[in-house]
Structure 1
Amino acid sequence: MLASIQAATAPWRTILQQSWPILVSSWAGIIFAVLDTAMVGHTDAIDLQAMALGASIYITVFVGLMGVIHALIPIVAQHFGARELSQAGHAWGQGVWLALALSVVGGASLLLPDIWLSLSGNIEPAVRERVAGYLIALALALPSALLFRTIYATATAISQTRGVMLINLGSVAFKLLFNVWFIFGGLGIPAMGAVGAGVATLVVNWMMLLAGWLMVRRHPAFLALQPRISRPRWTNQKELLRLGLPMGGSYLIEVCAFSFMALLVARDGLYASGAQQILANLMALCYMLPMSLSLSTASLTAQAVGAHQMAQARQTGLHGIALVMTGALLTNLVLVFAQQPIVAMYTNEAQVAIIALTLLQIAPWFHFWDAMHCVSAYILRAYKIAIVPLILQIIALTGLGLIGGWWLGFGPGAGMLAPAVDWFMPGAPIGAATMWIMAMVGLALTSILLFAWYAHVLHRQGLLRG
């Protein structure tokens, strides 16, 4: 009896053991954005809007490209589960070449701010200038960020996440130090505001890459993979792109709701834009818990698939779903009862705080469906299923959530959701509130469709029962 109970609870323990370093790493990463928003928020409204717009643009580019790099997780995990350690090390090296190529494409797009800002209507020249400076710094930071992601993905795939956690934790201290220096000025450096936040990220990202490279060259778990950067091979690149492009597309669709909302809400003015940034940043912070649990679940599921232990893969996936749902409900308790202290941490601008409190009313609803969407997508990727989730996300998130939100919030149907806004988010700006409501509806529909497809996968394997 005891043995059967331990066997039943083993996936819970294993997922939690692997996910907490991922969670700490993710929180450390998102703290970069929290520090930027909180510290720039104490300069002036122009810098806050510039940082909000610039961060939205960068996140759109980075997350989409990061999704392509994260194809390494199921690929390396399946090799690892099959005990093909040398193949796992070779896959990492091929991922390095892909990261370098993607950084060129992504960096070039960040140097064209006017194309992105055209979605925001009339932007003050001072804001535009600071957005451009912020993005130049982040374009230079992008190669190091994507290269570090190859190390992060490999560490996650082989269940060795503590080293990456320590690097991310250390980076927070340096980010705080450089933020104070570059944003507010000192020691001969002039105050740079939003641009200074970008420069601080540039410096810290390259420091993180150096630390990650040392870990790859010295950590026994990485050395066992025989990590090497051989010449790029089309066969390996094709495998990465076949899985990575739809994964990157899925990541891009997920983040576009935040990015394009920020660009569109800028039409409502400086204060609404700042409030939008607070809610988006908070939702990103909350997302780290389901993402860490989902990443851990996906890597362990992929290892089981690689070892041809399909029943274990199913059990791990279902336990991961239960853990993510539990975490989302606990997070929502904080979102319901601590809204005013949360907003006070972000800004001392009274008008921004008032609008932010009205927008935060939808946070618990949005976060629950965001979490469900996250775990369902990651589990499917563990089986190297990426195209079907992308199609479902295009229909639900882009078609219904993003385009529908624009149509009903700022387009021909503006104001049609006013009754729903009054119920979900009384007092909130109609345009911004409509975008968030439709994004939530899109997430809910996507989650339902992805879970249905996962059930189809299990049924096809004869594992839907038992």
Structure 2
Amino acid sequence: MANTPPVQMSYGGHVRALSILGLPLIGGHIAQFAIGLTDTVMLGWYGVAELAAVTLAQSFFFVWFILGAGFAFAVMPMVASAAARDDHRRIRRSTRMGLWLSVVYGALSTPLMWYSEAILLAAGQEPQVAADAGTYLRIAGWGIFPALLVMVLKSYLAGLERTQVVLWITVMAAVVNAVVNYVLIFGHLGLPEMGLQGAALASLATQSVSLLAVVGYALWRLPEHDLLRNLQRPDWEMMREIVRHGLPIGLTTLCEVSLFSASALMMGWLGTVPLAAHGIAVSVAGLTFMAHLGLSNAATIRVGNALGRSDKVHMVRGALVVTMASLLIAVATVLVFFLAPEPLILLFLDPDDPQKPEILAIGVTLLAMAGLFQLMDGMQAIALGLLRGLLDTGVPMVMAVLSYWAVGVPTSYILGFRFEMGGVGVWIGLILGLSTAGVLLLLRFWVHALKHMNMTPPGDLPPDMTAGPAA
């Protein structure tokens, strides 16, 4: 199968291409994040106890969701590389088996959502917070099915560089979530006040609407890929390939997410107010991280495309441009966190809440520390995106495990509780874990991957070796 001849692009051209591809991805991630952020903000207005519960519940949900999302992340570079060679068959096969694996994974993880209260109690959480989180997850947990399917189809569209539609579908979902949240949490338009249960129903409805929108677009605008063709038939060869790349990607992301989830558990041991402050600081820091995540996805697509065309110069220039873009965003974020933390935190609090001064004091400190890890958090995200474009997933997974669980979590516990530094100690552990990952992953790409990589695109084999039984 012939590859497209390499086309050299100037650094200015890379900046323009990254802007066209990356800005919609950043906007899409921000809109996606806004869905969870809306729950946090509105429940913060509703009550501190509910805010603490949804912070814990969303951390629990996200741990299991992000592991399954590894299959979707694997689809993105596979589609990008196949698209560079105009291989519609491989695009269809990889996307379809990504959907299959997402449904299987969703079925396996749903019982964990249903019994989340018992799991959280066993993890040492306060009984009332665990009960409220369980109430939320017994409803919102069903959303893991549409959420994972949406991730696969968004990765498929992003791999085709159709990032504008990914942005607009996600923006639509965020608006729907905000409106339904407002109506159901507080009880408007004649409906009863539902609090946590209303927020959970809003999230489930939003994910379902998103799935309908993205499926409709794919079938309407991309009929040549015929995604529903032979949907009921397994393609074992392609499924194994997605598992081989997707499972390490999911575990890598899980290691980072579980670092934050472990920190939420530790903050829960300190009490409801520290946990609420932690939830606010993580939400604000997470919002800014969406910019780095969007750039990371763009890096994956650009590298996968360059790999499909066997263009190493294009790959190196693109990697330099996306790394510098992430660095500039990190510097701007640090300045905002240090110079204006209080207005950001107050967005999440009821002005009349008697616990506001205590939450604000803790939150300002934590947000200042969040600024410290923005640089390395962005760098490790970019490095992971570059490595995923090469489908280099195994060694980065090991690096993530070592960074987050051999460095980050133990340091958080030791400083937070053995040295009695509280929330500050827990967050120092976060910083050290992210910094370790950033250094190791950047070295992996620039020193090892580019030096030793084989530029033969994955799947560039004779048709009889790539065609599965259900192509």
**TM-score above 0.5, yes or no:** yes
Q: Deviations over 1:301-359 (max 9, x none)?
A: 10110111122122211221111111211222222222111011111341222211121
Deviates further, 177-186 or 225-234? 225-234
Q: Which amino acid aligns with 1:414?
A: F
Contact 1:298–1:317 (CA<8 Å) still a contact in 2? Answer: no
Report the alpha carbon displacement of residue 401 of structure 1 after superposing the two structures with TM.
0.3
CA apart distance, 1:8: 2.8
* CA shift for structure 1 position 235: 0.8
Change (3 A) 1:52 1:8: closer
**Aligned AA (1:116):** I
2:347 is paired with a residue whose SS is helix
Task: Find the counterpart in structure 2 of residue 427 from structure 1.
Answer: none
Q: 1:233 to 1:356 in 2, by over 3 A?
A: same
Find 1:359's aligned residue among 350, 360, 366.
Answer: 366
1:82-140 alpha-carbon deviations (Å, 9 max, x no partner): 22122112211111111111111222221121353136525133x33321121011221
Cα distance in 2 between the residues matched to 1:97 and 1:5: 38
Closer/same/farther in 2, CA of residues 80 and 414 from structure 1, 3 Å limit: same
**d(CA) in 1 for partners of 2:125 and 2:311?**
57
Are 2:184 and 2:198, in contact at CA under 8 Å, matched by a contact in 1? yes
Alpha-carbon distance in structure 2 between the residues aligned to 1:104 and 1:5: 46
The farther-off stretch of 284-293 and 67-76 is 67-76
Residue 5 of structure 1 deviates from its aligned partner by 11
Q: Which residue number in structure 2 is paired with residue 91 of structure 1?
A: 94
Provide the residue aligned with 2:459 in structure 1. Answer: none
Structure 2 unpaired stretches of 5+: 1-6, 456-471
Give the SS at the match of 2:162.
Answer: coil
Q: In the alignment, residue 30 of structure 1 is paired with which amino acid?
A: F
Question: Structure 1 pair 447/119, CA: closer, same or farther in 2 (3 Å)?
Answer: farther
Q: Deviations over 1:389-415 (max 9, x none)?
A: 0101111111100123123323xx333
User: Paired residue for 2:63?
Assistant: 60
Worse-superposed segment, 45-54 or 198-207 = 45-54
Distance in 1 (alpha carbons) for counterparts of 2:427 and 2:229? 43
| Match in the other structure for 1:146 | 148
Per the alignment, residue 397 of structure 1 pairs with: 404
Mapping for residues 65-464 of structure 1, pairs under 5 Å: 65-118=68-121, 120-125=123-128, 127-219=129-221, 222-230=222-230, 231-348=233-350, 349=353, 350=356, 351-410=358-417, 413-415=418-420, 430-454=421-445, 455-461=447-453
Kept after mapping to 1: 8 A contact 2:285/2:367: no
CA distance in 2, matches of 1:21, 1:124: 42
Cα deviation digits, residues 229-278 of structure 1 (max 9, x gap): 52112111110000000000011011112111111211111111100100
CA distance in 2, matches of 1:138, 1:67: 20
Seen in structure 2, the aligned counterparts of structure 1 residues 451 and 205 have a Cα distance that, compared at 3 Å, is same
Q: Distance in 2 between matches of 1:432 and 1:156?
A: 38
Maintained 8 Å contact 1:32/1:175: yes
| Pair 1:359–1:97, CA change in 2 (3 A) | same
Q: CA separation in 1, counterparts of 2:8 and 2:168?
A: 33
**Contact 1:41 1:347 (8 Å CA) reproduced:** yes
RMSD of aligned alpha carbons: 1.9
Q: Per-residue deviation at 1:461?
A: 4.9
Range with greater deviation from structure 2 (326-335 or 95-104): 326-335
1:15-30 to structure 2, matched below 5 A, reads: 15-30=18-33
Deviation at 1:35?
A: 1.1
Amino acid at match of 1:73: M
Q: Is the 8 A contact 1:120 1:267 kept in 2?
A: no
Post-superposition shift, 1:63? 1.6
| Partner AA of 1:405 in structure 2 | S
The alpha-carbon distance between structure 1 residues 360 and 120, as it changes in their structure 2 partners (threshold 3 A), is farther
Distance 1:436 1:238 in 2: 38
Percent identity reads 24
> What is the CA–CA distance in structure 1 between the aligned matches of 2:19 and 2:453, rounded to whole Å?
26
The 1-side partners of 2:283 and 2:294 are apart by: 17
Task: Give the counterpart letter for 1:16 in structure 2.
Answer: S
Distance, in Å, in 2 between the alignment partners of 1:343 and 1:327 is 20
> 5+ unaligned residues in a row in structure 1: which ranges?
416-429
Opposite residue 214 of structure 1, the aligned amino acid is G
| CA 316–255 in structure 1, closer or farther in 2 if over 3 Å, else same | same
